[in-house]
Structure 1
C-alpha cells in the first residue's frame, strides 16, 4: 500500500508541475520561442493525460469528465512532440501553416468528439474505438518525430561530429515520450495481464525533475535546454577584401572556365577558392547581390553570346550545352532572364547587324 501511495505522489506532483511549466512556456516566459511554444503544449497535454491516469488508478469513481479530458489530451501530445522536434532542428521565424492547421484540427476534433459523443453516455464507443484512434494518432506522430530526428540518432556514437548538449536534450525528451507512449499503449492492449498504467506517469515525473535539476545545477550553460543553438548572423566582409576575392573568383571562372561544368556546385567552386561554401555564398550575396546559380549563369550566357556573335557553327541548343547548361529549357530561360531576349532573336539581331555593316561598307 505504501508503494502505491509513493507512485501516486510521484505521478501527481509530476503532472502538477508539468502544468506549471506549460503555463510558463506558453504565457510567462520572457523569451518567447517557437520550440518553447510547442514544448508548452506538449507538457500541458502530457500533464492532463498523466494526471487522469494517476487519479483513475487510485480512484476509479472520479467524474467521467476527467476521463474524457485526459483521453482527449492525447490527440495533442503527438502533434506537439513532432512540431517541437521539427522547430528545434529546423528553426523557422514563425509558426508554419502546417503546424497551425494540424494542431487546430486535432484540438477541434477533441472538442467535437467530446460534444457529440460524450464519454458519460458512450463509454463503449470510447473504450473500443475512440481511444484506439487517439493512440494511433499519437503513435504516428511519435514515429514521424523519430524520422525527423534520425540524423541525430545517427550521430549518437560519432566521434568526429558528436552531439551538442541541446541535441542530447532533444533526444532525451523524445525518448521519454516514446517510453510514455509505449507504457500507455501496453496498458491499453494488455490491461488484464499487466499493470503499466502508472508507468507513463512515473517516467514523466522522473524525466521532468531530472531536466529541472540539471538545468538549475548547470545554470551557467548558455541557452535553453530545449533549443538548438541559434544560427549566428555572419559578419559582413570588409569592402577591400570582398573586392579582391570577387576579382580572384572572376579570374578563376574565366581562366579555368569552371562554368562549363554542368554539375558545378557551390561547394566545388568554394574548394577552388580555398574558402568554406557558406563564405562563398556570403561573398556573392553581399558583393554582387546574386546567388550561386545566377552568378554562374552570368558567365555561361556571356560565353554563349560571344559564340553567337562570332558565328559559331554550333546550333543554339548545342551552344547551350557547350557553355554548361544541362538542358535546352534551362539555357533558354536563363538567356531570356539575363539578356531580355531569346537566343533566336539575339542571333537574328546579330546577323542583321552584320548584314547592315557589310552593306554600308
Structure 2
C-alpha cells in the first residue's frame, strides 16, 4: 500500500471508528434515558459498520464475500433509525416506543428472510441484495424528510437546531452512496467513507457549538422586561415536572441550568425567569428540593444505605453538600429525621371494643 493509499485509508476509517464509539456510547451507556439519542446512536452504529467494512473491502479485496453483505445488512436499519429519530425528537413524551420495537422486529424478520433467500440462491445475491437494501433506505429517507416537514409545519415555534443537521447529514450520505453506486464517482467505498467522516465531524462541530453557545444579547433584551404568559408558564411548569418525575434529571450531579433548558427546548433566560418569577425558587433550590424529597423517601422506607450513599444516589456530589442542603431544606439532620420517623410510628394497633 502506497503512502497516498495509507493516507486515504486513515482518513476514511477514522470517521467510522469515532462514529462507532459514539454510537455505542449513545446505545449502551445512555440507553433509553433520552429516546432520540438512542436512535441517533443506532444511525451512527449502522453507518459506521457499513463504512468500516467498505473501507476494509476496498483496500483488502481478498476478504470473504459474506463480509460486505454484513455491511449492507447493517445499512438496512439506518433509514428506519433516522425515521424514528425524527418522530421521537418531535413527539418526545408522546412517542410510542412499544410499537416501534414491534416495527424493528418486523424489519429484522424481513431482512432475515431476504438474506436466507439470497443465501439459498447466491446467483441473485450481487444483483438484487444491494438493490433491496438501498430501496429500503430510499423509502425511509423520503419518509423522514416528509415527517420533518409535517412536524415542523405543525409546530413551527419549536426549535429544530439538532434535528435538521442530522437529517441533512443523512441525506448527504445517502445521495453520496447513491451517486457512487451508479458509477458516476469511481472511488466508491473509500469515497463514501470520506463523505461520512467529513459529515460526522461537521455535525459534531455544529452540535457542540449549539450546545455550548451562551444566550445572545438579543435574546436577553427580548425577554428581560417580558413576563412569561400564565398559560405558557403552566405548560412549561408541567413539562418541567414531567422531566423531573419521569426522567429524574435531578439525579445528574452535573446538571446545569442550560442543560435543563435544552431538554425543555427553551432559552436559559426563560427557564431562569420561570423558576424565579413563577415558582419563586432559584435553579439550585428547585433541583435540591427534588433530591432531598427522594432522600427523605428512602429514609422513611428504611433504606439500608448510609446517609452519604443516599446523598450520592439522589444527585449530590459530596457528603458535606448533602448534609448542609438537607439541614437547610428540612431544618434538621438526616439522622434526626430518621429518628423522628421511627418515634412517630405507632407501637401497637388499638382494638375496637
TM norm structure 1:
0.53
Change (3 A) 1:153 1:182: farther
- Contact 1:45–1:73 (Cα < 8 Å) also in 2: yes
1:212 and 2:216 aligned:
no
* Secondary structure, aligned partner of 1:63: coil
Residue 128 of structure 1 corresponds to which residue in structure 2?
127
CA deviation after TM superposition for structure 1 residue 140, in Å? 0.5
Q: Which runs of 5+ in 2 are unaligned?
A: 215-234, 241-353
- In the alignment, the residues of structure 2 paired with residue 163 and residue 113 of structure 1 have an alpha-carbon distance, to the nearest angstrom, of 40
CA deviation after TM superposition for structure 1 residue 233, in Å? 3.4
Residue 164 of structure 2 corresponds to which residue in structure 1?
171
- 1:135-150 aligned within 5 A: 135-150=134-149
Deviating more after overlay: 108-117 vs 31-40: 108-117
Change (3 A) 1:112 1:235: closer
Residue 14 of structure 2 corresponds to which residue in structure 1?
13
* Secondary structure, aligned partner of 1:92: helix
- In the alignment, the residues of structure 1 paired with residue 182 and residue 205 of structure 2 have an alpha-carbon distance, to the nearest angstrom, of 34
Residue 352 of structure 1 corresponds to which residue in structure 2?
none
CA deviation after TM superposition for structure 1 residue 151, in Å? 5.1
- In the alignment, the residues of structure 2 paired with residue 163 and residue 3 of structure 1 have an alpha-carbon distance, to the nearest angstrom, of 47
Deviations 1:212-265 (A, max 9, x none): 34545565359xxxxxxxx733499xxxxxxxxxxxxxxxxxxxxxxxxxxxxx
- In the alignment, the residues of structure 2 paired with residue 13 and residue 211 of structure 1 have an alpha-carbon distance, to the nearest angstrom, of 15
- In the alignment, the residues of structure 2 paired with residue 168 and residue 7 of structure 1 have an alpha-carbon distance, to the nearest angstrom, of 32
- In the alignment, the residues of structure 2 paired with residue 235 and residue 129 of structure 1 have an alpha-carbon distance, to the nearest angstrom, of 48
Residue 100 of structure 2 corresponds to which residue in structure 1?
99
Residue 236 of structure 2 corresponds to which residue in structure 1?
232
Work out the number of aligned pairs and report it. Answer: 218
CA deviation after TM superposition for structure 1 residue 42, in Å? 0.9
- In the alignment, the residues of structure 2 paired with residue 232 and residue 104 of structure 1 have an alpha-carbon distance, to the nearest angstrom, of 36
CA deviation after TM superposition for structure 1 residue 199, in Å? 3.0
- Contact 2:83–2:143 (Cα < 8 Å) also in 1: yes
Change (3 A) 1:232 1:25: farther
- Contact 2:180–2:192 (Cα < 8 Å) also in 1: no
* Secondary structure, aligned partner of 1:70: helix
Change (3 A) 1:17 1:141: same
Change (3 A) 1:219 1:31: farther
* Structure possessing the higher radius of gyration over alpha carbons: 1
- Contact 1:10–1:202 (Cα < 8 Å) also in 2: yes
Q: Which runs of 5+ in 1 are unaligned?
A: 156-160, 223-230, 237-361
Residue 354 of structure 1 corresponds to which residue in structure 2?
none
Residue 194 of structure 2 corresponds to which residue in structure 1?
202
- In the alignment, the residues of structure 2 paired with residue 189 and residue 217 of structure 1 have an alpha-carbon distance, to the nearest angstrom, of 36
CA deviation after TM superposition for structure 1 residue 173, in Å? 1.1
1:190 and 2:189 aligned:
no
